């Protein structure tokens, strides 16, 4: 089974195509949106949807911690981990440079030239 785990910014994978089996990166929801858009644009992969935006959680006077609520953060983390596992587990997506940057580069170069990664 192929897996990618998001653990407090640390990414672990058992996928052989990735050079690093562990890397530490920080990703925002907008980075996940970028990855999804790149994969849709550059590959033949049917990309799963991301969990919904937290617009309503950002409203004032909600009576809870909104986007900083521990249960919301855990749910979002799990949903994003499911998303990245589906994407990284897809054989065609595994060859996409944008996925490798997302998982292993500290900073995503959004001006990169789309390309395929060769399995060595």
Predicted TM-score (pTM) of the model is 0.76
User: Are 13 and 21 within 8 A, CB to CB?
Assistant: yes
Alpha carbon 116 to chain centroid, angstroms: 18
CA distances from residue 41 to 44, 69, 79, 120 in whole angstroms, order as listed? 8, 34, 22, 25
39 pLDDT tier (thresholds 50, 70, 90): very high
Q: How far is Cα 32 from Cα 30, in angstroms, rounded to an integer? A: 5
Q: Residue 1 pLDDT > 50, yes or no?
A: no
pLDDT higher at 108 or 54:
108
Write down all domains in the chain, each with its CATH number in brackets.
Answer: 4-104 (3.30.1520.10)
pLDDT higher at 71 or 28:
28
pLDDT higher at 71 or 101:
101
């Amino acid at each position: 089974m192929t897996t990618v785990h998001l653990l407090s910014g640390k990414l672990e994978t058992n996928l052989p195509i990735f050079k690093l089996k562990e890397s530490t990166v920080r990703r925002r929801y907008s980075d996940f949106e970028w990855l999804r858009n790149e994969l849709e644009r550059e590959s033949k992969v049917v990309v799963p949807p991301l969990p919904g935006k937290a617009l309503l959680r950002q409203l004032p006077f909600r009576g809870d911690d909104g986007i900083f609520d521990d249960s919301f953060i855990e749910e979002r983390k799990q949903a994003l981990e499911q998303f990245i596992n589906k994407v990284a587990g897809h054989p065609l997506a595994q060859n996409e440079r944008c996925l490798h940057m997302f998982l292993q580069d500290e900073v995503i170069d959004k001006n990169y030239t789309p390309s395929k990664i060769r399995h060595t």
